[in-house]
Every structure is written in C-alpha cells, then in structure tokens.
Structure 1
Amino acid sequence: MAAAAIMLPTSASAHATGQSFVALLPTGPYMAVGVAIVALSIMLLWFLPQHSGARLLPSCGVGRIAVPPAARSVASFLTFIMLCGGIASGLAGTRDPLENPLVLGFWVVFWMASPMIQGYGFNLWGWISPWQWAVRPLADLTRRPVLTLSRRVGVWPAAILLLGFSAFTLADPAPDDPGRLAKVIAAYSLLTFAGMALAGPGRWLRQVEFLSVLMAQFGRLGLLARRGGRVRAGWPGWQLANGAASVPGIPVFILVLLGTGSFDGFNETFVWLDLIGVNPLAFPGRSAVIGQVIAGLVVANLLLIGLFLTMIRTGDVLVGGNRSHAQLLALFAPTILPIALAYHTAHYLPSLLVDGQYVMIALNDPFGTGANILNLADFYVTTGFFNHRETMRVIWLCQAAVIVLGHVIAVILAHAKAVKTYGDVARAFRAGLPLAVFMVLYTWLGLWLLAAPKGG
C-alpha cells in the first residue's frame, strides 16, 4: 500500500521555511529589482515590431512519438489502483502524516510536484489521471447520459469545486490527517465516477472534475506538447501564445486558481493574523479560525476578479473599445496562468525540499519489508538548509526568480494578445497599460508574500 505514495497529493505536513533568516536578507532591494524587471519588460514591448510579442515565445518540432493507444489507459488504471491502496492506507495505516503513503502521495507528489511537472514539462496528467482509464468503458455503457451537462455551463462547476478544495486545504483543522484525507478522497472519487456515469465521462472530466481542468490549464504552459503525432518544444507559454478556443468559466477558473494561491501565502502572514485578531506568537490552532479563513478566501477571489476585470475593462475603454466583460475575460485571463503556476511553485518550494525527502524514504522501502531500493537506509531527513543564511538566500532568490519570470511571461502573452485584439502596437500598449500596472503590483505582492513574517 505504501506504493501509493508515488501518485497521490498532500497538503504537506510542514510548511517548513527558514523565515527567521529571510527576515535578515536584504529583501527590499531584491523586491525592487524584481518589480523593475517586470516594469522594464513592459516598456521594451513598446519598441518591438508588430506581432513580435508572440515570437518571443517560439517553438519547434523535435520529432515524432508513437504511443500505443492502450499505454495511457494502463498507466491511468495503475494510478487508480494506487489511489485505492492509498485510501486503504489512510484508513487503516499509520496515523503519522510524515509516514502515511496517502498523505505523502497526495499532498507532496500530486498537489505540490505534479502541477510543476505539468506546467514546466509535459502532459503528465494524461498518464496519471486515475479517471482516464474508465472513459471508454463508461462511454460504451452510457451512450445516452441520464444527466445533460450543457456546453454553456462550461467549467463553472469545476471552479466551484476548486474553491471548495482550497477551503479544505486552508481551513480544515487537519487536512493532512490520514483518515480524514482518505474519506475526502474516497467521497470525491465516488462523486467523480457517479458523475462520469450519469453525465458522460468525457464531458464530466472536461467540465466538472476540477483536477483535470486544473491540469489541463497548467498543461497549456508546458515546454513540450504533442501536435498530432509530433512533439513540439518551446519556451514557457508558447502554447498559450498560439491561442486556444474559449470555454465558458475558464477565465474565472484561472482567476480562482491565482486567487487561492495568493491567499494561501497571505493566510500565513502576520498581517492577516492581525486582521482577524489573532496573536501570531500564540496561534490558537486552525479550528479557531475556520470561518475567518473561508471568508478571507472568498473575499480574496472576489477582489481579484473585480480588480482584474476593472483593469482590462479600463484598457478597452482607453482605446474606444466596446467589448463585453465576458469577451475581455476570455481574451486576457489565460495570460495570467504563468503567474498562477509561479505562485504555486514559489509557495511550495520550501515544503517540497523537506517533504520530498520523506517521499524518497517511503519509496526506498515501499512495502515496509526492510527493502533498500534507493540505498537510503541510513538517510535521515534534514532541514539544515533552513538554518543557514546563505542557503536561505539561494532558496529565497529561486522563489523570487520564479515569481518574476512568471510575470514577465504573462506580460509578453498579454501584449501579444492585445496586439492581436486591437490591431497595432500603439493601441495595444495603451489598452494594456492598466493590466501592466496590475502585473507590476502583483509582482510586488508575490515578492512581499515571500518576505513577509509568517505565523500560524
């Protein structure tokens, strides 16, 4: 059962950080440089020739790839078996979240690491989705679905489920308790299979199952992608630069993805704890702030959606446009996907450095038989790199670099989209100024969240 650690997600046992050493770093100048880089990238786009913004994210073919049709189904089914084993381990195995395969697999491997691989590498979810293997069998059994899931509904159900899952990760008193996590995953799995059977497997996965929608969106940022039988490789964001059909609800889903990631970081700061009247040096526990955290999560997302919509609407008005709110969101919301992925990466990097070691130990002896597969029998988990200023400087600068790079890519994508929408560089630049201000401010926010004192 411990083998399930290979494929599941967890809200990791410890948000381990060397925050005391971060406080000693000259983060102010670093933040100023990061914000200046994003602002400079915006100014440089003014001097680029027409339509060259998209060419800053090129791609090229790297060859053909032949994958047996059944390969993905087999991999998906194996993941499903691991998922079932993980649920059993969560219900009957060790209660220690640092040793339980379900907790390590779900929060560390799936929730922390998999989106990074999906967003920076290739379509991992196409292989490890625990639902994909059932698509064809259920499609054959449900040629006429009992429930009709209209295309006009889009992915709004997935956006709601994403918000609910975020509330679980941030507000639940013990999201990494093995038994609690096992029950949540089992209930969600039953809901997913029931929905696939009643509404059609393909449509349910595309419109309701939020993990599939989330991975599909991050997959639009991957360096590698299949186009027919060929593999293309390019700079981060090249797939988005080539455009994609708009689906109802996708813009809001992306904004919720960014909003929840941002609030996840803000939720740990002294500023937030002061706002809700909690002494950060005497944190009463998550159960004492459930209502405040859920309310904060909802308000943060509403504020982000409202601010983003105001900025793109203002830009449209500046050039005499008359596009609807829905049209503007469909055009520009996908351009902030690199920021959402950057926030995810920067936020979870310290935890991944620690909890990833527990995953390696679990893989070294997956069945608890005394095996030493990876020759790690004498290995002990270390957090020593959080106790030295220089290593913390490197970690913090890596986090900051990811944040800045994500915003620069978003700036390029937004400019390319504006040029395509408004026809020339001058109009696109004017229309994009409010959104550019938003991105500069969000860069500062991201870097501030990395540097801010944490509690709780």
Structure 2
Amino acid sequence: MLQKNLPSTLSFKEIAAKASLAFVINLLCAGDAVAHTAEGGFVLLLPTDIYIASGVLAVALTVAMLIVLPDSFVSLSFKNKRLWRATNLQVLPVRPHHLSSLLSALFLFWLIYIGLEGPRDPLANPLPLTVWTLWWIAFVTVQGLFGNLWRWVNPWSGPVWCFQALFGRSMRLRYPAWLGHWVGVGAFLALVGFVLADPAPTDPARLARVVAAYWAVTFFGLILYGPRWGHRADGASMMLWLYGKVGLFARRGAHLRLGLNGWQLVSLRSVPFGVAVLCLLILGSGIFDGLNETFWWLDQLGLNPLEFPGRSAVIWQTLIGLVLTNLAVVGLFAMALWLGLRLGRSQMPLRRALCLFAPTVLPIALGYHVAHYFTSFLVQAQYALAAATDPWARGQDLLGLGTFYVSTGFFNTQDSVRVLWLCQAGSVVIGHVVALLLAHAVALRHVETRVALTQVPVAIFMIFCTFFGLWLLASPRGF
C-alpha cells in the first residue's frame, strides 16, 4: 500500500536505505546545536545482523548453562545479603517519607503552574521535561535498577497524611473487591495510550491539565479508599512498585538487603492475577512503543514514512496496535507457560503459573526501556538542565552555568555511535539473561517435576523477544 503514495520505481527497501543515508549525512554534518531527538533510537549503519546474532546467542547459551549447571547455582544467584540496620525514625512527629512526599507535591504543583503559564516550547518548559525525561525515562530506570524510591517521592502520601491529620479518616470507604486490580491496569493502559497516541503529549498546557487531573483523582481515591486505591487503582504507582521489586536494594524488617536484580521476585509467593497481567502489559507496551515508529509499522498503515502526516492521523491505529500487541504478548506468554507445564507433566493450573512467572518478564521490560530511551535521554536531559537554569525562558541563569548549548556531538562519529549501540544492545541482552535466570529460580521453588522441560517454551519466548528487541533498535524510524 505504501507504493501508492510514491513513485512506482522505488521499493520499500530503497526508501528505507535512502532515508537512512540522509539521516546519517545530516548527523555527520552537524555540530553542537540546539536539537531535538525523537522518543526512540536512531538508525545505525553498523553490522546489526552480527550484533543481533550475538545477543540471541548469549541468551541461548544462558539457557544451555541452566541445563548443564546444578540447580544450586541459580538459587545462589538470587541470595540476598544483609547490609546494615535501617535507622528508626518513627520518633519524629512526621515520617520522613511523608515529608519528602509533601515536598514532591509542592514541586509538582509548581510544575503544573509553569506548564499552564510558562513557555509554550516543550523543550524549554520544565513540566514536559520533568515528566517525560526525568520521571518516565530516568526515574523508572533508577527504580528498576536500585529499588523502591517511589515511596519517598510520590506526590500523594504526604498530602493524604496532612488531610487525615486535619479531618480524620471518617470518609474512608471499602474498596470494591470485585474490581480487583483492573482499575489500575486500565489506568496504566490509558497512560501509555496518552504517551503514544495523543497528538501533543508534550504540550505544556495540555500535559499540565492531564497531570493535575490524575493527581486529583488519585488523591481523592486515597482519601476515600485508603492505601488500597494506590495498590489497585493507581496504574503509575503499580508499575513503579513492580519495577521496584526488580531493584538491587530492599528493606526487610529492620535491615537493608542487597541482591541480584530480581531477587525480591524470587521470594514472592505469587502476585494477584490482575498484577500478573499488568507485568505482561508493561512488556507489551514497551515493545509497541518501539514498533509503532518503524517503517514496517507505517507500511502496514499504508503511510509514506518520508511524508508522515502527524500523530493526529493515526490515533485510532496506534491505540488498536497497542491493544493487539499486548494481547499478542499475553497470549504468547500464556501459551509458552501452558506448553511448558504439559512438557513437564506439571499439575499446576495455568492461572497460578501466570501469577508466578509473569513478574519474571520485568527485567526484559526494564532492559528494553533503557535501550529504547537511552539516546533520547542523552539529549533531552541537557534540555532539562537548561530549563532548570532558566525555567521561564527569560534568559536567566539560576544555576550559574553561563551560556548553555545542547550538544549532539556523540552522534557524529562511528566510534561513539558504536558505543551507544553496545550500551543499548547490552541492556537488552542483560535484561533477558536475568529474566531467564529468574524464571528458572521461580520454577525451582514452585514446579514439582521436570523443571528444565517446563522452562523450554518460556526460554524460546524470551529468545524471540531478544531478537525482536534488537531488531527494533536498529530499524529505521518514520517520525
């Protein structure tokens, strides 16, 4: 269908090749400049087939090692070590995380105000840069790598504590049990849909209204239903809680503990079914986030990637693609689990297997999140720093940085691009290796017979995800 909009002499591969060449020439001719980068990666004219094959081989060799090595090796990999006793601060009149939450809420209110009244340029207004660069990209990564920091900076626990200290808890209602975690699952999908399908998710005023509405709904939900609203209906907090379970550090009792990423998930008995589905939706949404920008996807929509008509022209197509991709991921993972249980002759119900094994895909989602947004963060973090020193775009220099220029010089040479690609590819491969180890460790704890056989279909699913993730990183982008 793409050829209808282009001269008949050009094939799709020729279009992609010319677009890639033009992109690289543009990079080679660029110096330090005020530039903007797309959400995803960039076209890499490197031997990507070798990198993809190497990444898939690394994951496949990990599977082979799991078969050869004793089970004790996997179990020991996720042992945690006690570091030190956490300081008891309960004697203070205000809990420290409530105080930090209050400060976070005040900062968010200021961001909303500046989003409504400040500069209209998304690359100069602190609100879009804070939400999409510092929170959506950087904070999610830090949460997944190190542990649950969201408890300290979420903008609700402090204001809710203040409200209840003034007015009591007489307004508390019982959260409907029949809703389960599905409100939170819907909220997460709505958030991703806004990121991917909204015509202008970075417009400061538009984003300010969305952020204010989400904060207000969550605040009153916590007032009315208590912490259960945060655990079952706040999609953003549920996502961050799950990523926090992948982190290196966690508090257990009075002590801080350290272990390999994912060690907290091994100790979980299982998660509720709605949370298990959310784990798979996090992975599926991340995959579609990369897929919907590729030439291949635009070709399926019958669009010329070199004359993209804008996000407003593909709103419903994007939402449908998001839903279909997530259904495919959930369906394929469930099928892999079902085949594994049949091969291993396990009597475990499929629903229980999903609740046990779905969290093991979170390292894959985190690895792809880091890879997908890595180059975007390198550029947009510089805009965030510039906005911090001049939040009203009035030529101020609050941080004393002097004249500030955003640099994209690291895109200009093959050596620097190679380093960027290796960082991206490495995060994808490491995420899959950790996920394989994690799934095997969970199987050792909960599967009664033929553990290795039950994991073969799951391993195939993860190897396919590795190949697909690396292919997405190297694919030409249409917008």
Q: Same fold (TM over 0.5)?
A: yes
Letter in 2 for 1:436: A
Task: Say whether residues 1:306 and 2:304 are aligned partners.
Answer: no
Give the distance between the partners of 1:418 and 1:240, measured in 2 at CA.
12
Task: Say whether residues 1:49 and 2:43 are aligned partners.
Answer: no
Query: In the alignment, is the contact (CA less than 8 A) between 2:119 and 2:392 conserved in 1?
Result: no
Aligned positions of 1:313-392 closer than 5 A: 313-365=338-390, 372=397, 374-392=399-417
Deviation at 1:142, TM superposition (A): 6.3
Q: Determine the structure 2 residue equivalent to 1:104.
A: 129
Query: In the alignment, is the contact (CA less than 8 A) between 2:337 and 2:457 conserved in 1?
Result: yes
Query: In the alignment, is the contact (CA less than 8 A) between 1:338 and 1:407 conserved in 2?
Result: yes
Q: Determine the structure 2 residue equivalent to 1:455.
A: 478
Give the distance between the partners of 2:41 and 2:260, measured in 1 at CA.
32
Give the distance between the partners of 2:156 and 2:299, measured in 1 at CA.
43
Residues 244 and 383 (structure 1 numbering): CA distance in 2 closer, same or farther, change over 3 Å? farther
Give 5+ residue unaligned stretches, structure 1: 1-11
Give the distance between the partners of 2:168 and 2:278, measured in 1 at CA.
28
- Within the candidate set 53, 57, 77, 1:36 is matched to 57
1:149-193 Cα distance to aligned partner (Å, 9 max, x none): 245643221111111111111010000000100111111111112
Deviation at 1:448, TM superposition (A): 0.5
Q: Determine the structure 2 residue equivalent to 1:441.
A: 464
Scaled by the length of structure 2, the TM-score of the pair is: 0.87
Letter in 2 for 1:303: A
Deviation at 1:275, TM superposition (A): 0.5
Deviation at 1:405, TM superposition (A): 0.3
Identity %: 43
Residues 18 and 116 (structure 1 numbering): CA distance in 2 closer, same or farther, change over 3 Å? closer
Please state whether the residue corresponding to 2:68 is helix, strand or coil. coil
Q: CA RMSD, aligned part only?
A: 2.0
Q: Determine the structure 2 residue equivalent to 1:285.
A: 310
Give the distance between the partners of 1:147 and 1:13, measured in 2 at CA.
47
Give the distance between the partners of 1:210 and 1:17, measured in 2 at CA.
23
Residues 292 and 142 (structure 1 numbering): CA distance in 2 closer, same or farther, change over 3 Å? farther
Higher Cα Rg, which structure: 2
Letter in 1 for 2:186: I
Letter in 2 for 1:307: L
Residues 370 and 227 (structure 1 numbering): CA distance in 2 closer, same or farther, change over 3 Å? farther
Give the distance between the partners of 1:64 and 1:151, measured in 2 at CA.
37
Q: Determine the structure 1 residue equivalent to 2:203.
A: 177
Give the distance between the partners of 1:17 and 1:228, measured in 2 at CA.
40
Q: Determine the structure 2 residue equivalent to 1:421.
A: 446
Q: Determine the structure 2 residue equivalent to 1:62.
A: 83
Aligned positions of 1:161-200 closer than 5 A: 161-200=187-226
Q: Determine the structure 1 residue equivalent to 2:6.
A: none
Letter in 1 for 2:217: L
Residues 16 and 422 (structure 1 numbering): CA distance in 2 closer, same or farther, change over 3 Å? closer
Query: In the alignment, is the contact (CA less than 8 A) between 2:98 and 2:161 conserved in 1?
Result: no
Quick check: 333-342 or 49-58, which moved more?
Answer: 49-58
Give the distance between the partners of 1:453 and 1:213, measured in 2 at CA.
33
Letter in 1 for 2:210: V
Give the distance between the partners of 1:47 and 1:386, measured in 2 at CA.
42
Give 5+ residue unaligned stretches, structure 2: 1-34
Scaled by the length of structure 1, the TM-score of the pair is: 0.92
Quick check: 398-407 or 354-363, which moved more?
Answer: 354-363
Residues 135 and 229 (structure 1 numbering): CA distance in 2 closer, same or farther, change over 3 Å? farther
Q: Determine the structure 1 residue equivalent to 2:25.
A: none
